[in-house]
Structure 1
Amino acid sequence: MSQFEYDLFVIGGGSGGVRAARIAAEHGARVGLAEEYRMGGTCVIRGCVPKKLMVYASGYPGHVGDAREYGWDVRLGGFDWAAFRAKMDAELDRLESAYRGNLARSGAAGFDARATLVDPHTVELSDGQRLSAAHILIATGGHPFVPDFPGSDHVMTSNEVFKLDALPESILVVGGGYIACEFAGIFNGLGSKVTQFYRGAQVLRGFDGEARGHIADAMQARGVELHLGTNVMAVTPVEGGYRVKASNGMEQVFEKVLYATGRKPNSAGLGLEAIGVETGRNGEIVVDDYSQTNIPSIYAVGDVTDRVNLTPVAIREGHAFADTVFGGTQRSADHDLIPSAVFTQPELGTVGLSEEAARDAGPIEVYCAAFRPMQSLFAGHDERVLMKLVVCADTRKVLGVHLVGDHAGEMIQTIGIAVKMGATKEDFDRTMAVHPTMAEELVTMKSPVRTA
């Protein structure tokens, strides 16, 4: 009989924690899991899922306009935010219930409480209960970061944006990452007047430079007022909203101010310091390839480790941890060549190296096409799709693929398989085109537009 009440105790009920708990339980482990807020974590409750639903909602004005160009006698009425939000909330409730049900069916015990570490084998719940475990997994995710400045307490973040009582007539979005750009597009599509500030020279830092510029131009063409090299100096409540003073001398009143200036790991207040768990300068829990900390009984997965902060990555890390510790199969999550999508408007799909990163690594060829796709061309739009391949000049391997346009996220999932398998440019060339599609450009680009 084990000296511990559980073989595994998981702190955090998000995607990574629940997957780890379920797989460990299926391997025969006695598992407990504590979640202080709602089961499902950031992605399900206040991240990917509600955000994508808002992306869908914001796209319908454009669809209606296109329908008229295709001969349909349709008119756009008003947007009912309250009705949409009620249905969105109901969908999140359904998903949370599914998470709870899946966890319970696996045999794991769930606790609606905050858990902190007492020692390497003991957690204390917020109700005072102490539980022991042979292994403890921390999967507490991250939280939005708002810098300190005069009036910073008056802004909202992605945590609160889904709970708005009404759609704002005007909104300032501060930040240039994917969350900021996605919400700028969402509110613009829903009918708000959107202004976006970013302190850097171009939005979407870390992505391919050509794709970044393409998206920024398209966002502005669709109506987002983008100010680069601009930061907020102060926010002051006034009648009708908040007066914002900017670093470029601009002063303007916005009904709402949304900050999306990065995220930090949820590692504070867990008791890590007291038992000596190593953390990094941003608060991330330092782990090895198998998600183990410097304390052998304590592991961590997902955004709290600040490795690759994506839901599918947290799920893979949690699954690999459970297989390694409880399934007898040593396995680590593969963080190389991860496809990803940014649900800006237009959408970005990407896998592999940007042109800039590939150029620094060795000689490359760049194949690129920008064109007006058939569907939107017929509807009278000037916006162009971008299709880009970055190829190693020596090995001919496709090092990176970057797509900007409708359904880019769907396309990059399948393209990611080819890139992960090590496909060469000639493999792409040998593949027959599917006509007429946007994606056929990926296999018909014969000559590089530049080399480096």
Structure 2
Amino acid sequence: MKSYDYIILGTGPAGYKLAQLLAKTGKSLLAVEGGLFGGTCPNVGCEPKIFLSGAVHTALASQQLVGRGIAQPAQVDWDQLMTVKKARFDSWPAETKAIYEKMCDVAVGYGEFVDAHTIQVNGHQYHGTHIIIATGHRPHRLEIPGKEYLHDSTDVLSLSHRPDHAVFIGGGYVAIELATFLAAAGTKVDLLIRSDRILRGFYGKYAQEMVDQLTARGLTFHFQTTASAVAKTGERVTITTNHGEQLTADYVVDASGRVPNVEKLKLTAAGIKYSRRGIDVDDHLQTSVAGVYAIGDITSQPVPKLTTVAELEADYLYRQLVRGDQEPLRYPTIGTAAFAFPEIAQAGVNPEEAADDSRYQVVEHDLSFGSFYAGLNEQEAKLTVVYDRDQRLVGASEIGATAADDINNLVPVIGLQPSSREWQRKVLPAYPALADEVFGLLKR
């Protein structure tokens, strides 16, 4: 049995970042991957998603400018867009695997624990002084009759031909983003939402405004509705809802959430504690077993499951394991976004949570009167900011075509807490853009 200083299970953003750092130490390192090398983000997640959104956002922005300087709106050609997307992304898993093979040893297959420090891959066993679990999340699959006729987000991101009618089951950011993309290309879209709102975790007021805008573009929302069964009807698929209603479509997407990849790990063999939320870790990212750690989406930490968070944890664990840093992990201000059209983005304290809390003051700004937003015909662009008792900016949420970029301008402001005097002395952003208005948002 071969022994390693470090074994990393999973090659997504968390594992990749950590492997790059550890490979430079001269210590022995084994990377284990049973799926796509590179994980979800670069293959079937954020990278191809943002690639598709470039064309979709451009087309939708042009459509809202008809009569305001644009004579002919752009149209999304889904089949052509997907052909270009595949030409760019299909080679990435093999390319990532080649990068790993230059950095360290590689075992292709799913790793499973034999004991606390022994991993088995395809019948071969490996001992690791330190083992890091970074196997991430995967799409949740509904356990209903006819589930074999459902597709997931991975399928949509490789969908060669646009369906005429698609139904999405779910109201999270994956469902809303992908539904926006297909609808922009001309697909009729219905969404089954099990609760009374979409995008939980984002500002509820802006989530409802997104519903209003998407509805105006032809998407149909069915709230308090779930799928109870799916059946094949000729070449189409019929969904029966909890209300007994039936919807027949060409394509049905199960976007009911994501779940941690724990089943194949055989964690109980090592005594590692976990739950349906993921693997439990302490504030040093160590599991219930000494010398075994978990980073990225696989953990049960109550933080957004984002590539940026995964890479932050990889950096932190490297400093701990190699440099001996023993400070507990403290998460910084984290920016999040749903890349639909319009976008919703936020950072810091959610205005919804602050509204009835005497510690905070919530102020909304209508951005549509600014020349930049008016030039895009962004009639509903809004920014809500949250101040604490010391008049420090501690939260921000925005809805608008450029919400993600705008909120990114405020992430360092919320995180670093500059005074208005410090900002004025040290920063002079480009004008006109939201960044040049930050000074006006600072109250101290």
- Structure 2 equivalent of residue 44 of structure 1: 42
Counterparts in 2 of 1:297-446, with a 5 A limit? Answer: 297-307=291-301, 308=303, 309-330=305-326, 332-359=328-355, 361-372=357-368, 374=371, 377=374, 381=377, 383-392=379-388, 394-423=389-418, 435-437=431-433, 443-444=439-440
How big is the shift at 1:109? 1.4
Letter in 1 for 2:106: G
Counterparts in 2 of 1:93-242, with a 5 A limit? Answer: 93-97=90-94, 99-105=96-102, 107-126=103-122, 128-242=123-237
Residues 1:333 and 1:220: Cα distance change in structure 2 (over 3 Å): farther
Contact 2:420/2:442 (8 A) holds in 1: no
TM-score normalized with structure 2 length: 0.90
Range with greater deviation from structure 2 (422-431 or 363-372): 422-431
How many aligned positions are there?
439
Contact 2:156/2:178 (8 A) holds in 1: no
- Structure 1 equivalent of residue 5 of structure 2: 7
Residues 1:23 and 1:72: Cα distance change in structure 2 (over 3 Å): same
Residues 1:24 and 1:310: Cα distance change in structure 2 (over 3 Å): same
Flag structure 1 segments of 5+ consecutive residues without an equivalent: 448-452
Residues 1:171 and 1:429: Cα distance change in structure 2 (over 3 Å): farther
Measure the CA separation in 1 of the matches of 2:78 and 2:199: 31
- Structure 2 equivalent of residue 450 of structure 1: none
How big is the shift at 1:70? 5.6
Measure the CA separation in 1 of the matches of 2:162 and 2:421: 50
Measure the CA separation in 2 of the matches of 1:423 and 1:446: 8
- Structure 1 equivalent of residue 27 of structure 2: 29
Letter in 1 for 2:396: V
How big is the shift at 1:327? 2.8
Q: Give the SS at the match of 2:157.
A: helix
Q: Give the SS at the match of 1:269.
A: helix
Contact 1:291/1:299 (8 A) holds in 2: yes
- Structure 2 equivalent of residue 87 of structure 1: 84
User: C-alpha deviations, 1:328-368, integer Å up to 9, x for none?
Assistant: 33355432421112102101121011123224553322111
User: C-alpha deviations, 1:76-118, integer Å up to 9, x for none?
Assistant: 567151x33232223224543553354344x321222221111
Measure the CA separation in 1 of the matches of 2:372 and 2:64: 9
Letter in 2 for 1:108: C
Letter in 1 for 2:21: I
User: C-alpha deviations, 1:270-304, integer Å up to 9, x for none?
Assistant: 12112211112x15111111211111121111111
TM-score normalized with structure 1 length: 0.88
Contact 1:321/1:332 (8 A) holds in 2: no
Contact 2:351/2:397 (8 A) holds in 1: no
How big is the shift at 1:27? 2.3
Residues 1:428 and 1:212: Cα distance change in structure 2 (over 3 Å): farther
Measure the CA separation in 2 of the matches of 1:356 and 1:76: 36
Residues 1:198 and 1:357: Cα distance change in structure 2 (over 3 Å): same
How big is the shift at 1:443? 4.7
Range with greater deviation from structure 2 (355-364 or 215-224): 355-364
Measure the CA separation in 1 of the matches of 2:399 and 2:435: 11
Measure the CA separation in 2 of the matches of 1:38 and 1:436: 42
* 1:261 pairs with 2:261: no
* 1:53 pairs with 2:51: yes
How big is the shift at 1:61? 2.8
Measure the CA separation in 1 of the matches of 2:105 and 2:217: 49
How big is the shift at 1:138? 0.8
Residues 1:435 and 1:222: Cα distance change in structure 2 (over 3 Å): farther
Measure the CA separation in 1 of the matches of 2:378 and 2:47: 30
Residues 1:376 and 1:171: Cα distance change in structure 2 (over 3 Å): farther
- Structure 1 equivalent of residue 285 of structure 2: 291
Measure the CA separation in 2 of the matches of 1:441 and 1:188: 34
RMSD: 2.8
Residues 1:329 and 1:446: Cα distance change in structure 2 (over 3 Å): closer
Flag structure 2 segments of 5+ consecutive residues without an equivalent: none
Letter in 2 for 1:286: D
Measure the CA separation in 2 of the matches of 1:390 and 1:368: 9
How big is the shift at 1:215? 1.7
Residues 1:388 and 1:88: Cα distance change in structure 2 (over 3 Å): same
Residues 1:432 and 1:214: Cα distance change in structure 2 (over 3 Å): farther
Contact 1:321/1:331 (8 A) holds in 2: no
Contact 1:209/1:354 (8 A) holds in 2: no
How big is the shift at 1:409? 1.2
Measure the CA separation in 2 of the matches of 1:52 and 1:260: 18
Contact 2:2/2:125 (8 A) holds in 1: no
Range with greater deviation from structure 2 (420-429 or 282-291): 420-429
How big is the shift at 1:8? 0.4
Between the two proteins, what is the percent identity of the paired residues?
26
